[in-house]
Amino acid sequence: MNRRITVVSAVLAVFSLAVLAVGCGGGSEAAPTTEASGSPATTETATPPTEAAPEPVTLRMGVEWPTGDPRTELVAEHFVKAVADASGGLITVELFGGGEIAQAKDINEAIDSNLLDLALTKLSAGWTTAVPELTVLGLSVFDDSGHAFRALDGDLGTELAQALEEKGNAKLLSWITAGDVDAMGLSDGQITTPEDLKGRKMRASSKADAVSCEALGAVPVVIDSSEMYMALQRGTVDGVFITTASGVEKAKLYEVTKYWTRIPIVSGAQLGIVAGADSWEALDPAVQQTLMDAATGTRAAIADWAETGGAKQWDAVAALDGITTYVVPPDQISVWKDLMRDSQRGLLEEAVSPDEAAHLLDLVIQAR
């Protein structure tokens, strides 16, 4: 239809409605009649415009762990499926395991470049370059996951989430724990004391791990989780500084490293579910709330799994052929942490400033 005709038609429609309104407002006055018949004039009732149907949304999500890892499966159930169910199928989250879209250490870059819309990522690793405050998450400063969550649900978490938005171009949906990162492995001997690490090349996952490793006398080599197996097989490293028992099993690290030690020196919530700022701002508020709710549910599911499944995972590792395990006595763990403490604090002070480091650590202490 010609634009001019459209405009004129619209004006006439408005005028007709105005006449109708005046006619109805008189109460007892007779209805208007046509000149030819004298019968009441008929008018058409305007049909209200129908609301447009919600548009389907597809989001790409990367996770830290490989496909098949029990935590990846929990994300599939409690985030991907939960979002689909809550939205009646209108929101689709495509899930990619570690290394499928981006290596774990590069997830922050994938989020920043919009290659991924969402991620469950280790915030204490690659993200610390842009957001140095997140370094605190990788230090041995939390007593356990419960202590970490109290801090992150309080002032510490508020400050870190704000820094992530301002410097990391990402929106935090929820903090996530992987449970106790308590598996330390060596290819040719058992680790029972810090002395056993002297001069050994150990795989580290982050700068915080590397500093801690050095403090114990080892030589750290930062390697992505997807490359651990090959590095151990080729002798690039002698062992793994710290990982999880489930990681040992799912990545089949037991095939190339036969000696494993259980030592919970890194506890807390180093991970988070995040959304890229551009992707997040483009979403309808109702979609945003659906994602936030699913992230909260995923946090609870992974925390429950970590609490109840840790011992089972260690039992599974110990039952593997040719594997030797050792558990560091609880009263000896403080010896390890004391050796790492000054180096870890120095890393945090270098990342932010001495004053800011003191402030962040005070917030950790206040949550005890």
Same domain, 126 and 219: no
Q: Is the pLDDT of residue 16 over 70?
A: no
Same domain, 260 and 277: no
pLDDT digits (tens, 9 = 90+) for 228-272: 999 999 999 999 999 988 889 888 999 999 999 999 888 778 999
Per-residue pLDDT averaged across 7-20, rounded? 34
* Maximum mean pLDDT: which of 45-49, 51-55, 200-204, 301-305: 200-204
- Which residue is it, tokens 């001069």? 199
pLDDT digits (tens, 9 = 90+) for 77-111: 999 999 999 999 999 999 999 889 998 889 999 99
Question: Does some domain include residue 4?
Answer: no
Tokens standing for 26?
Answer: 């008189």
The fraction of the chain above a pLDDT of 70, given in percent, is 86
> Looking at the 3D structure of the chain, how many domains does it have?
2
Nearest CA to 179 among 94, 247, 106?
247
Same domain, 113 and 175: yes
Q: Is the dihedral of CA 188, 221, 224, 72 positive or negative?
A: positive
Same domain, 167 and 81: yes
DSSP helix, strand, coil percent of the chain (3-state; round to 5): 50, 15, 30
Same domain, 344 and 279: no
DSSP 73: H
Q: Residue 327 to residues 22, 198, 264: CA-CA distances in angstroms?
A: 89, 19, 10
Range of the domain at 305: 57-179+269-309
Per-residue pLDDT averaged across 40-64, rounded? 74
Record the pTM: 0.81
Same domain, 242 and 344: yes
Same domain, 104 and 152: yes
Q: Is the pLDDT of residue 337 over 60?
A: yes
Same domain, 335 and 302: no
Same domain, 128 and 198: no
Per-residue pLDDT averaged across 214-240, rounded? 95
Per-residue pLDDT averaged across 138-154, rounded? 92
* 147-156, 174-183, 288-297: least confidently modelled range: 174-183
Q: Could you give the CA distance from residue 78 to residue 75 in angstroms, rounded to a whole number?
A: 5
pLDDT confidence band for 1 (50 / 70 / 90): very low
Same domain, 273 and 252: no
Residue 309's pLDDT is what? 73
Question: Does some domain include residue 21?
Answer: no
What CATH number is given to the structural domain containing 119? Answer: 3.40.190.170
Residue 51's pLDDT is what? 62
Same domain, 93 and 174: yes
**Higher pLDDT, residue 311 or 129:** 129
Q: Is the pLDDT of residue 46 over 80?
A: no
Question: Does some domain include residue 42?
Answer: no
pLDDT digits (tens, 9 = 90+) for 161-172: 999 999 999 999
Q: For 264, what's the count of Cα atoms within 13 Å in the CB-facing half-sphere?
A: 17
Same domain, 96 and 187: no
Tokens standing for 86?
Answer: 């809550």
pLDDT mean across residues, the chain: 87
